[in-house]
Amino acid sequence: MENIKHCAVIVRRSEDIWEGTRTALGLAAHNYWAYLFVVDIAIEINEKLEENLEWLEEMECPFISNVESNTQYGFQYLPIEKLARELKKMDLVIPFGNRN
């Protein structure tokens, strides 16, 4: 991963959100620019997830969603077209979890 600087973690299922945030945090801890993208799901916040989002914010890791209701938890809202443009800027895109 020598030339990789910007990494995106994409979460598409609510049951994967906590582990997805942990993955983004792990990348950030290893000096990658990590981005968390939550696509097509409204998250349900709990204490552990809230703590992970606070850590992401402290580590300057953007967390982005195409679901406007997620902005109440600090997510940046981007419509899917703009979200896709952001993903194209990444050196590595990690689709997290199963799609089913």
Tell me: the pLDDT tens digits for 8-44?
Answer: 999 999 999 999 999 999 999 998 999 999 999 999 9
Question: Amino acid identity, residue 43?
Answer: I
Read off the pLDDT of residues 43-100 as tens digits, 9 standing for 90 and up.
999 999 999 999 999 999 999 999 999 999 999 999 999 999 999 999 999 998 766 5
Assign domain 6-96 to a CATH class: alpha beta
Q: How far apart are CA 51 and CA 97, in angstroms?
A: 21
- Tokens matching residue 3: 């030339």
H-state helical runs in 14-79: 17-29, 47-58
Task: Look up residue 83 and give its two tokens.
Answer: 């979200």
Parallel/antiparallel/unpaired status of strands 6-11 and 92-96? parallel
Sheet hosting strand 63-65, strand order edge to edge: 76-77, 63-65, 33-38, 6-11, 92-96
Parse the chain into domains and list their residue ranges: 6-96
